[in-house]
Amino acid sequence: MSKLIKGTVEAIMSKPPIVVHKNDSVQDAAKLMFNNRIGSVLVVDDDGKLIGIVTERDLVYLVSLGKSHLAGEYPIWQLMTENPVTGKPTDTIDEALARMKEINVRHLPIVDEEGRPVGIISIRDVIDYILRAIRIIHE
């Protein structure tokens, strides 16, 4: 099993990532998340570089403030977590998991050398990978 965990992030990341532009509305992001059945979207600038992430928790926060009625007007950059911790496609899976645990996140954006998102790892991706590994072991 330890050899399976030493694989690279590229093997388990969801790609291409779902992204929104920094000026898109919170409602646009929420619709993308709902329609794609995902728990986060990555926020990019005009050059396509990652500048933030919005997760289900951020949407819950907005609702808890009583501002959900503004979702259509509220720009996503005002809700996003800026400069999220990222990984590279060549990182090992155990490195990525350790990073996610250390900073207590369920989503880890994966970026290229220029800072453009190329994928994302979610806890769901990790579970899927572990299930595949268990099935291989039991064959």
The answer to which of 3-17, 52-66, 70-84 has the lowest mean pLDDT is 3-17
Give the separation between CA 87 and CA 108, rounded to whole angstroms.
7
pLDDT, average across residues 71-77: 89
The CATH number of the domain holding residue 20 is 3.10.580.10
Extract the runs of DSSP E, i.e. beta strands, from the chain. Answer: 19-21, 40-44, 50-55, 81-82, 107-111, 117-122
**Structurally, how many domains does the chain consist of?**
1
Give the separation between CA 76 and CA 23, rounded to whole angstroms.
6
Identify the domain containing residue 102 by its residue range.
2-138
Give the separation between CA 13 and CA 89, rounded to whole angstroms.
8
In terms of pLDDT, which residue wins out, 5 or 132?
132
Q: What is the tens place of the pLDDT at every residue in 25-49? A: 999 999 999 999 999 999 999 999 9
Output the CA torsion 46→47→53→58 (10° steps).
0
pTM: 0.89
Coil, helix or strand at residue 12 = coil
Coil, helix or strand at residue 14 = strand
16: exposed, middle or buried (Cβ count in 10 Å: 0-12, 13-18, 19+): exposed
**Which amino acid is located at 15 in the chain?**
K
